Every structure is written in C-alpha cells, then in structure tokens.
Structure 1
C-alpha cells in the first residue's frame, strides 16, 4: 500500500475510532461532542454532508501526518508521536473553529465546557495515535531506506 492510500485509510479508521470514542464517552456521562452535527449546524448543510466533511477532515489530517508531521517530527516512540500529533490536531481544530465562528453562527455546546474541551483533547489524541499506528510503519520504512 503506498503512502497516499495508507494515509487515506488511516484517516478513515482514525475518524471512526475517534467518533466511537466520543459516542461512548457521551454514554458514560461526558458531554455529547458531535463534529458532524456541529458542521451541519454551522454551515446550514445536511447531516449527511456534515458526516462527509468530518471524514474528509480526518483524511486531510492523516495526509498531513504522513507527508508533513511524521517525516519532520523526530520522535521515535510511535505512541508519543501520535499523542503529539493528536494535540496538534486539536489546537489546529480550535483555531479553525474560532475562525469559522466569526463567519458562521456557532451552535450552543451542551455541558460543562471544561469537560467538552477535555473530551475533545482526548478524542483528538485517540485519533492521532490511531493515525500514527496505521501510517507510521510506512513512514519508518521510507525514512530508514
């Protein structure tokens, strides 16, 4: 599997794992966090398009890991590299949300904001580690050859 295909696959799987984590977190008392709902509400689009955008964003993040972050960040431990990438993805997502919030109406977030932020950070870390585990082996092979 080439780098591009593996990155797309990592983005899809990472997005699925992150989304399942957020759904399970809501079942255990964490505030409900639904990026597809947020996107569809902010942009005035259907929930189906919100889901499509959510997965496209995950794929773009995984491509950025495979081509930009992974090769340049010199962290040998794949888990720590994934955690670092997840935190970077969270920070970038918050910056983009702030920018989008000036253009589009922001939906009201339910629940304690500290818990929402913590859930989002952990969700992005789960995404980052998943992407690193899937995309990481091909990067290691390319970097060592």
Structure 2
C-alpha cells in the first residue's frame, strides 16, 4: 500500500533539493539553465511566469515521486535510496536524451526565439550542464527513495 503523504513529502523534498542543486550550479557559473524559468516561459514572461514554473516543477516532483514509489512497490524493494538513485539516473538519461532535445520544437518561447533551446543533455546551457543534469536527477531519486521509506 502506498503512503500518499510520504509520496507528496518525498516528491516536494526531491524537487526542492534538485532546485537548490541547480541554483548553486547557476550561482557558480557552472550552468545558465533555470528549470523553473524555462518551464514558466511556456506561460509567458516575468515574475508570474517564473512563479508558474516553480509550481510546475514542484508538482512534477510529486508526480514523478508517485511513479518512483509505484516502481519500488512493483520491485518489492525496501532500499529506497539506492533504487531511487538508479531510477534518478534513468530519469536523467531519458530527460537529457529525449525530452530536452524535443523542447526546441514544442516550447513556445523557444520556437519564438525568446529563450535558447537546451539541446541534447542541455549542452547549450553550459559545458557542465549535462553532468549536472544527471547528478541532479540522481539526487532527486535518492531523496525520494530515502524520504519515502523513512516516512512510509
């Protein structure tokens, strides 16, 4: 049985850690990508759009946490942090190799030329971004797995 409160807390915590990680990377010049601003740019420009991007990022954190926890249950694992890290690696590889390259054709702000397309593994956002993309998703999965099994 899935503990929905634990899933929500784990998803929000995973998204928060991911956001802190990418924020630190931006502040040190390792990347110029802002997931929240990129997501928000689908809705417009300015502070309101960025706020929408933040909300969308945290909602997606919870949605993906549900998927991770369903997979934990299907596999029958009690080692959430380890499986979470593995799922996070797979998640990052899928996002980097398939989702981000497609954004250039479907994201309205990218199509309009207002923001740059991230490209394959977000390489257009800086040379360290591909590694950060993978590490961020591994952290996300590790946090989801660890917190879910701590609370469930």
Q: Which residue in 2 is equivalent to 1:142?
A: none
Which of 39, 54, 60 matches 1:51? 54
Partner of 1:31, secondary structure, is: coil
Q: Is the 8 A contact 2:81 2:144 kept in 1?
A: no
Instruction: Report if the CA contact (8 A) 1:26-1:32 is conserved.
Output: yes
Task: Identify which range, 125-134 or 19-28, moves more after superposition.
Answer: 19-28
Which of 138, 142, 145 lines up with 1:125 in the alignment? Answer: 138
- Match of residue 14 from structure 2: 14
Q: Which is worse superposed, 92-101 or 4-13? A: 92-101
The aligned length equals: 134
Q: 1:25 to 1:100 in 2, by over 3 A?
A: closer
After superposition, the C-alpha distances for 1:76-108 in whole angstroms (9 at most, x for unaligned) are 643321211111221333323334432222632
Q: Is it true that 1:89 corresponds to 2:102 in the alignment?
A: no
Compute the TM-score of the two structures, normalised by the length of structure 2: 0.75
What is the CA distance between 1:70 and its match in structure 2?
A: 1.0
1:1-145 alignment, distance < 5 Å? 3-41=3-41, 43-45=42-44, 46-67=49-70, 69-73=71-75, 77-94=79-96, 95-104=98-107, 105=110, 107-108=115-116, 109-112=124-127, 115-137=128-150
The structure whose RCO (Cα within 8 Å, separation 6+) is larger is 1
Q: Is the 8 A contact 2:36 2:53 kept in 1?
A: yes
Q: Secondary structure at the match of 1:33?
A: coil
Give unmatched runs, 5+ long, in structure 1: 140-145
- Consecutive unaligned residues of structure 2, counting only runs of 5 or more, are 117-123
How far residue 58 of structure 1 moved from its aligned partner, in angstroms, is 0.6
Label 1:77 to 1:8 Cα distance change in 2 as closer, same or farther (>3 A).
closer
Q: TM (normalized to structure 1)?
A: 0.79
| Coordinate RMSD, CA, aligned | 2.2
